[in-house]
Structure 1
Amino acid sequence: MSQGVSASGADDAGAGGGEGKPGTDPAAGTAADTEPPCRRPVSTPAEAFDALYTYSAPGLVRQAYLLTGRRRLAHESVERAFHLAWQRWPEVARDRDPAGWVRAAAYEFAMSPWQRLRPVHRHPDNPPLVDSEQRELLEALLELPPPYRRTLVLHDGLGLNLPDTAAETEASTPAAANRLLHAREAIAEQLPHLSDPTVLRNQLIALVNAGPAPQLNPPRAVRTSSERRAWLWTRAALSVTTLIMGATGFTLATAPTRYEPAVSPGHQVGGVPPLAGPQPINPRSFMLRQQLLSEPAHGPERLVPTIP
């Protein structure tokens, strides 16, 4: 990362930080103590990334599990999202909501249709929740279509307003509102006691925060893995480019420099007699030829044959 990016990330992250001003209550703490870790002052891009990962990764794993019902896929989705965030850190550091940027990337990877083709993610896991109501809500949530499920979790589970939910799901505001209404109706059909939107919202918030803290890799390991993945992709791209250039050079060196018309294939011609040579000589003809060759070339014998 460049130093310019580091300064930008530090300025964005430390906009609300600083020392306590005279006259403030010391017991209330400084502004940096009351802000999320991802908004505290940092000096390097790595520190800003580590703060963002430490602050938002555990919650994102729980949210991805609610969307997929698969713990392994939830961890993989969040880690891939942070890999992408570290590779595009200048863009993420300047975003008005870095946690939302990573959340959108994790949701996209977790709910991708091709995930269903992987045998390891074909069947959902058994929910680890102890509360039977939370288990029923999770099962009903997983039966919703993916767009409805995502809209319901963002709006009622995380508390995003409708325009922000529509923007994150890449839909219009009326479309997001319709998805939200249909999702609530589908949940109410299976769980009538959650027909009240307020009760459903409270249950979803509790479900998002339920469960034990997920076991995550250290931030440094995530950054190292992201850099290794980027290095492997770069090396693969260079190898493919070199192979294409070599094949192109070989083709240019061996290709003909002028047009050579192809020989047309032969066709059978009808009405022409087959090629015939002289017949084999028989003994009588052989004797006659020898006699003619032995006699002189002049005389009446050549004109009037001798009758025996």
Structure 2
Amino acid sequence: MTPDVETGSGSERGLPPPKERRRLRESGELTHEQVATELGVTPGTVRSWERGRTEPGARTRAAYAALLDRLARAGADHPKPPSPHPAPTPPDPTPADATPAAAPPAHPPADGTAPGVSAPVGGAPHPGPTLPADADAGAAAAAVPPAAGAGAVAGRPVRPAEAFDALYAYSAPALVRQVYLLTGRRTLAQESVERAFRQAWAQWPEVATDPDPVGWVRSAAYEYALSPWRRLRRAHRIPSQPDKAPADPNDRILLGALLALPPAHRRTVLLYDGVGLDLPDTAAETEASTPTTGNRLLHAHADLAARLPGLADVPPQERSAVLRAWLGAVRPAVPLEPPAAATVRTLSEHRARRWARAALMLTAVIAVTTGYTTVTAPDHYVAPVPAGVSVSGVPPLSGPPRLTETSRFLQDKLRDHPAAGPRRIHPKPE
């Protein structure tokens, strides 16, 4: 708890950190909707505040600080008693600076089994180091400064394109691999990451000042990859050529077990065990509460242990480290190279120009239609003619005119012709 919250001066000294805001809200058993209703904002705005992506404005800052201060004082005055049935908490992930002895060995011993790790589904143990540094997108937030556009290269400010290229080169390969493990589809993984970075370049001022730019892009890529709307596209609903399965049988079994999980559980496992985020950060990125995320993780570990006998023999507190090593050792059978950063920036700029032109053309069409309607529309009211009022200027209704002599002669001639009447069937004497 920060000092300004403890002393009751949250509205004077500022707001607590984002994680503390989330903890205070959960300690008061409030939902995002309840906080948003009290402050007059949307639930998404409250989530952004708790994730540190945005800050309250001048209108809501004092009210939000007062609410957090009240929750802090309520928690200090009335501490929550321990529950007789506490929610299970998953084990802590392997720290980034763990020694090699804390992870499964890179090479199994001579007896063919790693200590404490059994072979998944009747095969040799799945060796491999922990997730490599270039695949750990969670650590990229510490390597990329909060303001990606602030800095200097050779005595000059960093240009936005250079900062974007640096962020793309650092995190794009790892993100493509993560989305591939999330979906099992190379095309969808590359498209999701490319789309996320195009969106990031279109909103670069926001991404450049975000405390976690890699998390911003990762969240956008995950959301697109797991979106149900993409199933409306035939290319994603019925793939013409399914991706080739990994060559290693253990990799195939692990990937199949991971894809069999529900999307929410799969994303939680990938963020917590694969990327290495802690439980509050995983809950914030999946937009769920911390207890819900912990329950999802426990259920996912149980499902994976049921499908992977090698994981069932591992103690629950060590499964995160084992899964992290296994996920880091998966070798896809298809290449996962993302396109060049310049290509992504160019596509994003072309897309922005096309949308701008479409907006201008639509505005022009609306303006022309409005002008034409204004010119041609009647400018005064014309009352209808009531019934029973004579109308002048209309010729009277008359019947057919009388036949002239010529018309009568032609009529009699047509009637007397043999082709007309019953006489047409009589034979003509010769």
Shared fold (TM-score, shorter chain, > 0.5): yes
User: Which residue of 240, 261, 266 maps to 1:149?
Assistant: 266
Q: Does the CA contact (< 8 Å) of 2:186 and 2:243 recur in 1? A: no
Matched, 1:166 2:288: no
Q: What's the CA shift string for 1:54-81, capped at 9, x where partnerless? A: 0100010011111111100100000011
**Structure of larger gyration radius:** 1
User: Which residue of 186, 193, 198 maps to 2:303?
Assistant: 186
Corresponding pairs, count: 236
Rounded to whole Å, the distance in 2 between the matches of 1:61 and 1:217 is 11
Q: CA deviation at 1:199?
A: 3.7
Partner of 2:378: 256
Partner of 2:230: 115
Give the percent of matched residue pairs that are identical in Structure 1 and Structure 2.
56
Between structures 1 and 2, the one with greater helix share: 1
Pair 261,183 (structure 1): closer, same or farther in 2 beyond 3 Å:
farther
User: Which residue of 113, 132, 136 maps to 2:249?
Assistant: 132
Pair 190,248 (structure 1): closer, same or farther in 2 beyond 3 Å:
same
Q: CA deviation at 1:210?
A: 3.1
The root-mean-square deviation of aligned C-alpha atoms, in Å, is 2.9
Rounded to whole Å, the distance in 1 between the matches of 2:336 and 2:374 is 57
Q: Does the CA contact (< 8 Å) of 1:166 and 1:172 recur in 2? A: yes
| Greater CA drift, 189-198 or 147-156 | 189-198
Partner of 2:67: none
Matched, 1:207 2:327: yes
Partner of 2:368: 246
Q: Which runs of 5+ in 1 are unaligned?
A: 1-34, 267-276, 278-308
Q: CA deviation at 1:207?
A: 2.3
Rounded to whole Å, the distance in 2 between the matches of 1:49 and 1:257 is 57
Pair 193,128 (structure 1): closer, same or farther in 2 beyond 3 Å:
same
Matched, 1:62 2:173: no
Q: CA deviation at 1:263?
A: 6.7
User: Which residue of 39, 54, 73 maps to 2:188?
Assistant: 73
Q: CA deviation at 1:112?
A: 0.7
User: Which residue of 350, 357, 380 maps to 1:228?
Assistant: 350
Pair 154,74 (structure 1): closer, same or farther in 2 beyond 3 Å:
same
Rounded to whole Å, the distance in 2 between the matches of 1:261 and 1:67 is 69
Matched, 1:101 2:221: no
Q: SS of the residue aligned with 1:256?
A: coil
Q: Does the CA contact (< 8 Å) of 2:301 and 2:319 recur in 1? A: no
Q: What's the CA shift string for 1:219-252, capped at 9, x where partnerless? A: 1111111111111111111111111121122222
Q: What's the CA shift string for 1:275-303, capped at 9, x where partnerless? A: xx9xxxxxxxxxxxxxxxxxxxxxxxxxx
Rounded to whole Å, the distance in 2 between the matches of 1:41 and 1:57 is 23
Rounded to whole Å, the distance in 1 between the matches of 2:246 and 2:357 is 44
